Structure 1
Amino acid sequence: MVMWVFGYGSLIWKAGFNYDDRLVGFIKGYRRVFYQGSTDHRGTPEYPGRTVTLEPAPREVCWGVAYKIAGKEDKETALTDSMALAPAVSGVMVYIASPDRKLNPNYLGPALLEEIARQIIHAEGPSGPNKDYLFQLEKALLQFGCEDKHVIELANEVRRILAEGEEGD
C-alpha cells in the first residue's frame, strides 16, 4: 500500500526519509502560518523558535510537496519525522498542529509580524538558527514559483531588522 505525505515546511527542501516520488502541488482551503513553536529543532524550551503549521482559509491554497512512500520502514520514518480542479493525488496525509494549548503546549499562535520576526531572529536549536528555516522555506517556495505572502513578508521583516541592527529586544 502506498502512502502520500504533504510537506509545506522544511519537508519541502529536506524530506529526511526515503520516498519513491515527489510532486509539487497544493492543498485547498488552508494557509501556511508561523504559529507553531519549535523547542527541539529551531529553538529551545527557554526560547522557542517558530515553524509553520496550517490554518483553515477557505479561499486560499498552500503550496508544498507531496511525497509518495511505498516501503513500510519509509512510511514509519516519514510519520515519526514529519508528522487544480481535480486532484492529481488524493488521500494525502498532512500534519496540522492543534491550536489547543492543552493538546499542543508548543502552539504559539498569531502575533504581530515584527514580534514573530524578532522571535525568529533570536531562536536557535539543534537544527540551526530559526531564521535559516524561514529563509530556506522562502527560497524553496520561490524555486517552484510560489509567492507565499506570509513567508515573504516575514522574511523581509527579518532582513529589515537584521540590516538595521535592531535585533535586540
Structure 2
Amino acid sequence: MRWLFGYGSLMWDGWEARFECAERQVADLKGYSRAFNKASVRNWGTKLQPGPTLNIRETEGAVCTGIAFGFADDADALAYLKEREGGFLFFTVALRLHDGRQVNAITSLYRGKNLLPDLPASELVDMAVRARGTDGKAMDYVLNIEHQLIELNISDHVVTALADAIRANGSVMHK
C-alpha cells in the first residue's frame, strides 16, 4: 500500500474517490504544524490582496493530525496532486495511523514565491477579511477549514486561533 497525507482541503473534498483509494485513516505527522503562511493570489485572494492559506512547517514537538489515503497504486493520484497543488514540493514523511500502524506517506509543502513570513495574528486577520479570489473570501476559507476539522474530530490550535480572531474582528455575520 502507498500512502498520501492531506492536512487541508485534501482531507474532505473527495478527490481520492476517482483514484480507487483503498483506505482512509486519521494520522499524525510528528514534527510539523499547520501554518497560514501561503498567500493565495487566485483561489482565495489576488496579487494585490492575497489571502492566507494552509501549509505545514517543521515545528519541534508539534503534531499535525490529518488524513492518510492508501492506494494500491498511487501514480495517478500523485500526478493529480502535483498538478492540483502547483508550486508545492512533495516528500516522504513517517506517519502514525490512529489504528497504531506506522507508515511512510507522501505529503506536500509549499516553499514558492508566495510563502508568507511569520506575521502577527492581526495581519493575518486583516488579510483574510480583505481578500477574495475565484473561490470566495479568504476568511470563509479559514472558517470552513475550522468547520471541517471539527467534523473530522481534529483539533488544531493554529486554525482555531485564526478563526476565533476573524470572528472577534466582527467581520463575520453571526447566525
Aligned residues with identical type, % of pairs:
26
Structure 1 stretches of 4+ moved >6 Å? none
> If the length of structure 1 is used for normalisation, what is the TM-score?
0.82
- Paired position in structure 2 for 1:79: 82
Gaps of 5+ in 1: 99-103
Aligned match for 1:36, one of 23, 35, 38 = 38
**Residues 118 and 137 (structure 1 numbering): CA distance in 2 closer, same or farther, change over 3 Å?**
same
Letter in structure 1 aligned against 2:15: G
Deviations 1:82-136 (Å, cap 9, x if unpaired)?
Answer: 35599635221111112xxxxx210112111111011011111112211122112
Q: Tell me, in whole angstroms, the C-alpha distance in 2 between the residues paired with 1:131 and 1:47.
A: 12
Which is strand-richer, 1 or 2? 2
| Paired amino acid for 1:130 | A
Unaligned runs of 5+ in 2: 89-95
The root-mean-square deviation of aligned C-alpha atoms, in Å, is: 2.4
Please give the alpha-carbon distance, in whole angstroms, between the structure 2 residues aligned to 1:107 and 1:48: 11
Question: Does the 8 Å contact 2:35/2:158 carry over to 1?
Answer: yes
Q: Answer whether contact 2:129 2:171 (CA < 8 A) is retained.
A: no
> How many positions carry a matched residue from both structures?
159
Give the conservation status (yes or no) of the 8 Å contact 1:12–1:137: no
Using the size of structure 2 for normalisation, the TM-score is 0.80
Distance 1:164 1:144 in 2: 23
